[in-house]
């Protein structure tokens, strides 16, 4: 398999994290790029596994010194991808999977960096809302904000090379695996 950079983006609640976890279980050839964030850890999240948790001052130092491949401020917190991490893995012949928001995905696509972009969608906005509420982690105001953002993010799907609707988990995973294998030359 040729080393490729895969970008996976989705509105909050589309099931992106679940799909990415399934992909990583099934494809040993993929390396997951752990993002840096300034948001506090959610229950069960581990520093260095789920995210690299940092404060805003340190994060902005990394941005200013060119250490971020992409970064964005989302819901008041910063998220970004280490340029060095991605470059080292690709140079070593490893494919890298980025689980990033639409802003970050567009930054990478607009930079001209060779990448394969995949947009994940819920079957409908009603399903998306149901999933967000089902998490039980966000206040009503946050859910409303995420739904409004989702509409804007869905409008960006045409910029992505592939769109996968996450209706039935196993079918969505199979579609993602097929895309990755096709793009990597398997």
- Domain span at 156: 5-183
Sequence-separated (6 or more) residues with CB below 8 Å from residue 8: 16, 19, 20, 97, 98, 99, 100, 118, 120, 176
For the stretch 29-39, pLDDT in tens is 899 999 999 99
pTM: 0.86
CATH number at residue 149: 3.40.50.300
Banded model confidence at residue 186, pLDDT cuts 50, 70, 90:
low
For the stretch 116-175, pLDDT in tens is 999 999 888 888 778 777 776 777 888 888 888 888 899 999 999 999 999 999 999 999
Residue 105 and residue 69: Cα distance in Å, rounded?
10
How many domains in the chain?
1
* Residue among 95, 91, 73, 79 at smallest CA distance from 7: 95
């Amino acid at each position: 398999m040729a080393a490729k950079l895969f970008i996976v983006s989705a509105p909050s609640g589309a099931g992106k994290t679940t799909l990415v976890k399934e992909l990583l279980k099934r494809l040993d050839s993929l390396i997951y790029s752990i993002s840096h964030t300034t948001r506090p850890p959610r229950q069960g999240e581990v520093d260095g596994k789920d995210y690299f948790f940092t404060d805003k001052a340190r994060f902005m130092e990394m941005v200013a010194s060119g250490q971020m491949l992409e970064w964005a401020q989302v819901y008041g917190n910063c998220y970004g991808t280490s340029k060095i991490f991605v470059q080292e893995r690709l140079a070593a012949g490893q494919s890298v999977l980025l689980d990033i928001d639409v802003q970050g995905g567009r930054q990478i696509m607009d930079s001209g960096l060779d990448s394969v972009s995949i947009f994940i969608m819920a079957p409908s906005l009603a399903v998306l809302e149901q999933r967000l509420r089902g998490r039980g982690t966000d206040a009503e105001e946050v859910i409303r904000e995420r739904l409004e953002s989702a509409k804007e993010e869905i409008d960006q799907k045409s910029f992505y090379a592939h769109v996968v609707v996450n209706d039935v988990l196993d079918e969505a995973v199979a579609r993602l695996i097929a895309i990755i294998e096709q793009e990597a030359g398997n």
